[in-house]
Amino acid sequence: MAIPPESSKKIVVVPCAIFEKDGHVFSAQRKEGMSLALKWEFPGGKVDEGETEIEALHREIMEELSVEIEIGVRLEPAYKEDPNRIICLVPYVCRMLTSPIVLTEHQQYKWVRLEEVHKLDWAEADLEVIETFLHYLGVSKLRRHKTKLKC
């Protein structure tokens, strides 16, 4: 989604982690009662004041999954606009360094085969991240639009 540069809404930067292992991608399901309840997403969270995207992603993954990660390539952000703000979802290709995974913010998680990733009910912005990731892997021949807004 391209956001017009003249938008006056607050931009919330939300880095997320894409974990891929042996042809599977990690997905986490949001708990009931949360916004976007039961939707699947890539774990992560918003950048707090004074934090970098990298610091926020390390913190959020530790809070949500209780694992240490190695952060790799930053992919093209996805944008989701709601009535009050613009979410800038910034995907990073990551690797888990520790285990086990202990969920604190999600109902469940799955390692989903790349060719079956679209069978889950993903949050809207995460769908765009999936396409960006598949393009990065060379799996998809999608044309990516360029956004005028940078986060």
Length of the chain: 151
pLDDT grade for 150, boundaries at 50, 70 and 90: low
What does the DSSP assignment read for 69-103?
EEEEEEPPPEEEE-SSEEEEEEEEEEEE-S-----
Region 10-137: CATH code:
3.90.79.10
Can you list the positions of beta strands (E) in the chain? 10-21, 24-30, 40-41, 69-74, 78-81, 85-96, 106-113
8 Å CB contact between 43 and 69: no
pTM, 2 dp: 0.86
Residue 140 pLDDT more than 80? no
Please indicate whether residue 149 or residue 29 has the higher confidence score (pLDDT): 29
Q: What are phi and psi of 63, to 5 degrees?
A: -65, -40
Would you say residue 142 has pLDDT above 80?
no
Phi, psi of 134 (to 5 degrees): -65, -40
Averaged pLDDT score across all residues of the chain: 89
How confident is the model over 20-75, as pLDDT tens digits? 999 999 999 999 988 889 999 999 999 999 999 999 999 999 999 999 999 999 99
- Relative to beta strand 10-21, strand 24-30 is antiparallel
Q: Provide the pLDDT for residue 34.
A: 87
Q: pLDDT tier at 82 (50, 70, 90 boundaries)?
A: confident
Per cent of the chain over pLDDT 70 is: 87
**pLDDT at residue 63, rounded to an integer:** 97
- Cα 53 to Cα 61, 92, 131, distances in angstroms: 12, 10, 21
Q: Which of 96-105, 119-128, 140-149 has the lowest mean pLDDT?
A: 140-149
Pairing assessment for the beta strands 10-21 and 85-96 based on DSSP bridges: parallel
Residue-range domain boundaries for the chain? 10-137
